[in-house]
Chains A and B, each alone.
Chain A
């Protein structure tokens, strides 16, 4: 049995009174579901984040990597609007603290030029970018710069060496639209996470993108995450790739920290 890696998880901001207990519950949930490793970021309670805000979040992730050795892998979250601080933070997190990737949220759409230096640094460091994304068929008022799979595809065509992960296909609106938009951009992976458990989503993604481009994730919807991969009409070998094999290959680009 290959490793099971949740490519999209979150630890809890320390402003929450119950953050320690909630973090522990996440690890316990992973134990129950057979998830070996969780790729985690911490996001601030309010956006856009300041440099102090994202630095604090990343420091807490680094501490969690020590608290849960071998279980928590770190994503460095930054706001590209503070580009100098963001680039310094990414370099520190990846080179000094062993983070495995970058998490971008919705402060900017991912195809805006302010994001480009981050993609260039991610490519240099050989780490993926997990991009928050969604494509509802209505304007999301509290996320005016929400990226969708089309924007990620645009970015991927500009940077074909970059490894981009389109977040939570099962929590980002019309998943059929998202899958179709990613069809011809081989350097974009699709994260299966989200609370939606619609029958057929995994098979459609596998058929259109290939199983090699699918990454298992939960984004805290734990039984949904495991359950939909288990239900999917795919071979055990294909499921192993989705559950961890593909993410492992991405992580090995930087020297196999697992």
Chain B
């Protein structure tokens, strides 16, 4: 079993994506042995009304719910987010949220964001936060969106101890309380591997040492990114088979209550 916690459907404003329909993404997943994937709308990152992206996503995943696990993009600074959250949960059955505080211009410490996380947690939903969407060096001349600082996420996980977070597209955790031993943060967050090194500095190995393999999850970033870099990491990591299984699917299955 292999579960990808970092996948997308739809369009991105600044670059053409391939494999961005359910049918194409599933074909790519089949080729790479990926059984299930958490998917959210790439379009919702730049739509003003993110809910339109969620609606497109749910139409797309219909009939594929056994493999594509939809997460909703909700902007708590936008009108009607409470209704969007309820509709996404009750009508579309989403299992989690993806939050883009820097793209949607709000702070993780904003009371509206904390309220969104608390409500979603009460509904049993998981909170996924992409640290970035794409490499900042290739950003369009139209936008300058910074990465989500890991310190702000550390503060959030401390503030919302009941919530479950999945942090994707991140790096440098070992230099943050999120990836260090003895930080006294609640063990309520999981770190995805697509940007982490498995060789040389071997940040994945350091994280396993510091916070345990039970907190690391497999993800690729498809179709923004190629799947094989993450697959190669699993191949070269010098860890036990039991730890690899945790990273491949068991941790994700646990957090998603699959």
Contacts and interface: CB of A to CB of B under 8 A. Distances in A.
Interface of A: 22, 25-26, 28-29, 32-33, 134, 136-138, 171-176, 195-200, 220-224, 226-228, 230-232
B224 interface: yes
B138 to A, nearest CB: 5
Interface residues of B, number: 33
Interface stretch (B179-187, B208-216, B228-236): B228-236
Given A29-B200, A29-B236, 16 more contacts: A136-B137, A173-B137, A196-B135, A198-B135, A198-B226, A199-B18, A199-B226, A221-B197, A222-B197, A223-B233, A224-B229, A226-B228, A227-B229, A227-B232, A230-B228, A232-B226
B74 interface: no
The winner among A26, A172, A227 for most chain B CB atoms within 10 A is A227
A227 B231 contact: yes
A230 B229 CA distance: 8
Given A29-B199, A197-B221, A199-B222, A223 B229 contact: yes
Contacts of A173: 137-138
Q: Which 10 A-B pairs have the closest CB atoms?
A: A227-B229, A231-B226, A227-B228, A231-B228, A29-B199, A137-B141, A230-B228, A223-B232, A227-B232, A197-B225
A230 B135 CA distance: 21
A175 B226 contact: no
A200 B199 contact: no
A230 B232 contact: yes
B223 interface: yes
Given A32-B236, A134-B137, A195-B135, A227 B226 contact: yes
A32 B233 CA distance: 11
B115 to A, nearest CB: 35
Interface in B131-177: 134-135, 137-141, 144
B200 A175 contact: no
The winner among A22, A198, A223, A227 for most chain B CB atoms within 10 A is A223
B135 A223 contact: no
A222 B197 CA distance: 8
B228 A228 contact: yes
A199 B229 contact: no
Nearest to A134: B137
Given A29-B199, A176-B15, A222-B200, A137 B227 contact: no
A223 to B, nearest CB: 4
Given A223-B198, A227-B229, A228-B226, A198 B236 contact: no
B256 interface: no
